[in-house]
Every structure is written in structure tokens, then in C-alpha cells.
Amino acid sequence: MTTTATTTDRPRAILAELAEVRVRFSPSPTGSLHIGGAKSAMYNVLFAHGQAPREGKRGTFILRIEDTDQKRLVEGAAEELMAALRWLGLEWDEGPDVGGPCAPYIQSQRTALYREHAERLVETGHAYHCFCTPERLAQVREEQQARKQPPGYDRHCRDLPAAEVGARLATGATSVVRFKMPVTGETRFVDLLRGEIVYQNDKIEDLVLLKTDGFPTYHLANVVDDHLMRITHIFRAAEWIPTAPLHVQMYAAFGWEPPQFAHLPLILAPTGGKLSKRHGSTAVEEFRAQGYLPEALRNYLALLGWSLDDHTEVFSLDDLLAHFTIERVSPSPSTFDRPKLDWMNQYYINHILTVDDLTGRVIPFLNRAGLIADGAADASHPAFAQVRAATALLKDRLTRLDEAPELMSYFLRDEVEPYDAALLVPKKTEPAVALSALEAVTRVLPNLDISDEAAVETRLRALAGELGVKAGQLFMPIRVAITGRTQSPGLFETMRVIGQARCEARLGQAVALLREHVAVA
């Protein structure tokens, strides 16, 4: 299809004279919520609920489930889509579960309406019954291919005499209803991000509106519902631009005013092309399972196409609502940048969430990993305080919540994971020296109050002096003994959070392990 877009004088969304703003997100329940869909949903919400454009007059955000393609339906997908939207904090004012003045909001419950409207277009001469069999259509396609012509319906039934149509319908012949696209001239419409877009009508085929099973196609249901639900602005992905001229013609055929269109830029993969499953996670549910925070994912998605200025990056939902304007949405595609999303997630974990809030979010991940019992999410549960203390120490190392079990296990299990005894021996240190140092620690530790970090530090530094080793030569084996690792947060705070009894037990085990190691060596 040919399109010419003038991008020089970008139109402004006509807002002032509108009595109200009504927008919709209308996913098909054919799978999980793709982040591109989540972005469209969010821009709808920001436009409707944002206060910037309309002097405090809140618009309406509608969720509509477009489930008329029965072959592509996935069981439970609508519920999953709704859960993912709610997880992202995107709430609708009207929709399947909350109801509203235009209910029902599930298209499969509105099929009579679509049939009536298809019939209306047939009666007014804007649509027609087509009796072509799938075999004939396949043959037409083959011939077109052989002639190197673009594929498309050859309008075989477009001008059948009314009497013949009536007779065939009376005998029960199966038919679809096709839209009678004008064959000359052009269709123009304004895209709020791109300016005027022009399509040559002869490039657009007579698409099916009503299928043989009596279900509408996307085009019919979408246009009828956008009108009946009084949608004022359509924010949807740029991949829908080629369907817009057909829709504009359908509005004209019905005698309706079309909504305003804004086709949102696509999200591209880092390697180019539309972001899809083969580039890794694309579904909101997957990001959730990996421990991305809804705040961070939302913030990240908002910036894939919109910006306030050239430097502000962190926006709460309230900030976005306050600042979002369609004028600052770019029509150019943006590239999905996982390291940037990771940065954003870590920023929220480390700087925006309170430790209590973060603890509550980490707990389900620890729970699934079997590290803590059910019920620990309750702040009064004994495990909560322990997780909270570990979270406070580790939050600057946590990029995603799903890293928490691995990062935190030694704070939560009785024992550390098995480690190599050689790790207990610092560089340039004799194993026997490391052993006597650790033995000395096991002797002083019971006399120390491990919750007093400063006192523990002073005593252990003094001990290093008494043993004639550097502080590091003493601290490193202690760290390995109590964590099973060579890296951890600060030693004394780590000891405090692990606790007296577990530290003493682990040091005892480390001494035994190192004795064996020394004996073998």
C-alpha cells in the first residue's frame, strides 16, 4: 500500500472543544500482554487520566476485549491480560469486570450488534454478500502470484444482481459480507503524531466484515464499538496504520464521525525488527516473574516513545500523569534496551522503594525458592525481620527480585552452601596461619555481642594484631566461613544479620574443614 505522510505541521490533539475524552485499549485475548500492548494501554491511561491536557477534567479509559477471532482465542488469556494491566497499575473506568454504560465490553457478547450493522451497510450499498468458496479464493491468489500481481480479492461478487443474491441467500448458501471499498480516489486521515496520511483507494481490497460463522472481523467489531462506545481518540500501535483508511471509509459509510488517531511507535529489538519472542521476554508476565517492579517497567515503557525533556528519567505514575502530552510522543520507533530497564529496576529497588516495601516484594521470590515459610510476608512473622535486615544490606546489589534467593540464601538458611576449603586461605597466607586465626576467632566470638558492630570490629582488628596478621588475612576467612562466599556486604553488618548462633556454628564448621584441608596438604 502506498502512503504519503506529511510530517511538517503536526496536528495538535483537538481537546478543548471536546465534551469528554474517551479512549480504549482493546486487546485480543490470543496470548499474554506484550510490552508493546502494555505501552499502548499506558499511553491511553496517561492521555485520559493525565491532568495536563484538560484543566482537571478526567477522561475515561475503557478496556474492551476483542475476542471475535474464535480460532485464535486462548483460554484464560483475557484474565491474564487484565491481571497484567492491573499489576502495572493501569486501571480502567469501564470494562468487562467493572461494567459501564456501554456494556458488555467483551465483543463475543455483542455479535448481534455487529450483524445488524453489517446488514445496514449491505442495505445502503456499502457492503455486499460474497459467495466465493475458499477454493476459488485460493485459485485467484495463485493466479495473481503467477502474474506477479499483489494478492487480494478480485471483487467477483461485488456487483451481483440483488435478485441473485436474494435467491442464493434464500437457499441457505454460505456467504461473507465484504466492505465495498471505493475503487477510485484516495482516503486521507490525520495521525496526531505523523500528520496527514494518504492512501490510494485502489490499493485497498474489499475486506471481509462478517464471516461465514456470523462473527465479525476485527474491522467491523472495532469500528462499530469505537463508535458505540463514543471513543474520541485511538492510541494504538503503528502496525495498525494500514487498517486506518478502511476504517475511515467505514465511518463514512455509516455516516459517523471518526475518532482521532495516534499510532504509537513500535518497539524494536536491539538487532532491528519488531521486538518478538525470539529476542527473549516480551510479555509483561515474564518481566513480572523475573522480578521487575511494575513501577520500573511502567517508567521504562513510558520513555519508549515519550520524553519530558532530554534528561529526566525517573517518573512515578503521578509524574507521568502530570506531564504526559501527546505533543511529546515521537513517531519514530524506539529500541528495547534491557540494560536500561535493568538500571531503572535497580534504581527503584535501591532508591525509591522503602526497605519494608522491598522486603514485602522479595518475600514471594524467597518463598518460591523454599528459603522461607508461607506467611512471612506478614510483618509480624519472625522471618520478616530477618529478610528485612538482609534486604537492607543487599538492596544496592539487587537488580531484579528473582536474584534475591541466590543473594540472600546465607542469611536465611541454617547452613551455608558447601564451599571449597581453599577459599578459607587468603592469598599469600600459609594454611596453618589461616587455621590458627580462625581458631582464635572461634574463641573470642562467644564473648562478643555480635549485634554491636563497632565492638566486634575493634576486637577483631586487635586480634589480627595479636596474631601478627593483617586485618584482611583475618577478615577474609571469617567472611568465607559465615557466608560460604568471597563477596558479601560489609563483614560486621553481615555478621550482625546472620546472628550470633549461626556465626559461631559456621566458624566451628570452617575450622573443622580447614583442619582437614591443612592435614591433607
Q: Work out how close the CB of 256 gets to ligand GLU at its nearest, in angstroms, rounded to a whole number.
A: 16
Question: Rounded to an integer, what distance in angstroms lies between the CA atom of residue 130 and that of residue 68?
Answer: 20
Indicate whether 27 belongs to the interface with ligand GLU (CB under 6 A). Answer: yes
Question: Rounded to an integer, what distance in angstroms lies between the CA atom of residue 253 and that of residue 245?
Answer: 12
Active site residue 428: no
Identity of residue 41: A
C-alpha cell at 15: 481537546
Residue pair 196/5 in contact (Cβ under 8 Å)? The answer is yes
Indicate whether 240 belongs to the interface with ligand GLU (CB under 6 A). Answer: yes
Contact stretch for ligand GLU (CB under 6 A) within 26-34, 44-52, 179-187, 512-520: 26-34
Q: Work out how close the CB of 150 gets to ligand GLU at its nearest, in angstroms, rounded to a whole number.
A: 23
Q: Work out how close the CB of 69 gets to ligand GLU at its nearest, in angstroms, rounded to a whole number.
A: 9
Question: DSSP secondary-structure letter at 351?
Answer: I
Distance set, CA 40 to CA 34, 132, 306, 517 (Å): 10, 37, 12, 61
C-alpha cell at 391: 534486604
Q: Work out how close the CB of 27 gets to ligand GLU at its nearest, in angstroms, rounded to a whole number.
A: 5
Nearer to ligand GLU, 257 or 417 (CB): 257
Restricting to residues 197-236, name those near ligand GLU by CB under 6 A.
218, 222, 236
Q: Strand runs (DSSP E) across 208-250, as ranges?
A: 208-210, 233-237
Indicate whether 191 belongs to the interface with ligand GLU (CB under 6 A). Answer: no
Neighbours of 437 (CB within 10 A): 24
Q: Work out how close the CB of 105 gets to ligand GLU at its nearest, in angstroms, rounded to a whole number.
A: 13
Indicate whether 251 belongs to the interface with ligand GLU (CB under 6 A). Answer: no
Binding mask 138-177 for ligand GLU (x = CB under 6 A): ----------------------------------------
What is the four-CA torsion angle of 206, 210, 211, 214, rounded to 10 degrees? -170
> Of 300, 295, 297, nearest to 334 (Cα)?
300
Contact stretch for ligand GLU (CB under 6 A) within 25-33, 147-155, 283-291, 441-449: 25-33
Question: DSSP secondary-structure letter at 277?
Answer: G
Binds ligand GLU by CB under 6 A, chosen from 21, 22, 23, 26: 26
196: left (phi over 0), alpha (psi -120 to 50) or beta: beta
Binds ligand GLU by CB under 6 A, chosen from 35, 61, 66, 264: 66
Contact stretch for ligand GLU (CB under 6 A) within 24-32, 144-152, 352-360, 426-434: 24-32
Catalytic residue (choose from 277, 340, 395, 470): 277
HEC profile of 21-62:
CEEEECCCCCCCCEHHHHHHHHHHHHHHHCCCCCCCCCCEEE
Q: Work out how close the CB of 40 gets to ligand GLU at its nearest, in angstroms, rounded to a whole number.
A: 7
Residues that bind ligand GLU (CB under 6 A): 26-28, 66, 218, 222, 236, 240
Catalytically active residues are 277
